[in-house]
Structure 1
Amino acid sequence: MGSLGSTPEFVDPADHTGEESSTRSLGQSLSADDFKSLFRGHPGGVAVITAEGENGPVALTATSVASVSADPPLLVFSLSSLSSSTPAIANADSIVVHLLDANDLDLARLGAARGVDRFSDVTMWTRLVTGEPLFLGVRAWVRCAVVSRMEAGGSTVIAAQALQSAIARDVEPGQPGDALVYYNRAWHRLGDHSHIAPQD
């Protein structure tokens, strides 16, 4: 599978003569700054992803986790090539995705910090019986098997199937809870003050 970072082209069936393929460029992409500006105004839920690497456990904070299917239970997320944890997570067979709320802000910050040992405080984490590192006390976590990897620009997109989960702080349907979101380069807590309308 080719990298999506190269100039994309596609075959237009209407131009196909049967003898040769005609290709057409999709045009110039947005600049990196324009693209970042676009998504700064689009809040994302916060998660910490862990895996066991060759040299021990690794972790990083991600705002790209999204559910894509309930049956089978699949989620996706992306890993930046700039993170030192990316190679271990990208090559792991199984991972743990910690879905955080505002009570887990310290863990979100830890996973986002550079140049620190995220596992130095042994009271903060343990291992599942299957070996994956698990941070304690989070709102919810899910152990997943990695089922697909795709290189996309400077990132690796991972698809994973949920195998096991636990929820410590559940939220009633329609209630805001204490969700933690990352928006416009800052952490935010959702609550009653941010609840503006029920789902239609």
Structure 2
Amino acid sequence: MSTTSPAAGIAASAAPPAPHTLGASLSADDFKALFRGHPGGVAVITADAGEGPVALTATSVSSVSAEPPLLIFSISAQSSASPTLARADTVVVHLLDAHDLPLARLGATSGVDRFADESGWSRLVTGEPVYHDVRAWVRCAVIGRMDAGGSTVIAAHALQSRLERDVEPGAHGDALVYHNRTWHRLGEQSRLG
């Protein structure tokens, strides 16, 4: 992973072995079947590299470190937002709950203007597009990108955040997850222990 900020604390790692040295791979269908049963939290990522705002829905957002505050996510090269995210210095990651399902669907729909409803978003003073009334958002500086198959993994350093709907420790908080090609709300009935 290359870094754009030496102070960010992420070092470049050795290149992974070439695929032909690893042996046989799972088929794409088998790999997709594995992860259909592995739920993921839902986020919408926005950016603007100078040609107008873009947004996409992602289930790959993960926290990496609290000190420094780092997160990662991946984007498919097939996404219409991919070229902008490849150039953007900053992004806004919107962490969604079930109340934000319309935004999750909007970010996942191809061929639509995700910013047509001007009442639903604005720009931060630093210029990034941000959606209103979401559970939480975090503005981040992109510190590294790594090509990974047909996707790019992006590492980002959290700079600023807003939390609209906090979740008490141990509470479900109406979490929105994507599982087996369907949106789900976690609730009291989903608690196992």
Normalising by structure 1, we get a TM-score of: 0.87
Q: Which structure: larger Rg?
A: 1
Q: Deviations over 1:23-80 (max 9, x none)?
A: xx22111110000000000000000000013320000000000001000000000000
CA RMSD of aligned residues (A): 1.5
List runs of 5+ in structure 1 lacking aligned partners: 9-24
Give 1:6 deviation, angstroms: 5.0
Q: How does 1:127-138 map to 2 (within 5 A)?
A: 127-138=123-134
Structure 1 moving runs of 4+ over 2 Å: 1-6
Aligned match of 1:60 = 56
Q: Assess if the C-alpha contact under 8 Å between 2:49 and 2:89 holds in 1.
A: no
Superposed CA offset, 1:152-183 (max 9, x none): 00000000000000100000000111000000
Given that 1:4 and 1:151 are in contact with CA atoms closer than 8 Å, whether structure 2 keeps it comes out as no
Query: Of residues 157, 173, 176 in structure 1, which corresponds to 2:172?
Result: 176
**Aligned ranges 1:1-200 → 2 under 5 Å:** 6-7=18-19, 25-197=21-193
- Cα distance change, pair 3–48 in 1 and its aligned pair in 2 (3 A): farther
Fraction of identical pairs, as percent: 69
Paired residues in the alignment total 181
Whole-angstrom CA distance in 1 between matches of 2:16 and 2:182: 29
- Preserved CA contact (<8 Å) 2:138 2:162: yes
Query: 1:91: how far off?
Result: 1.3
CA distance in 1 between counterparts of 2:134 and 2:113 reads 19
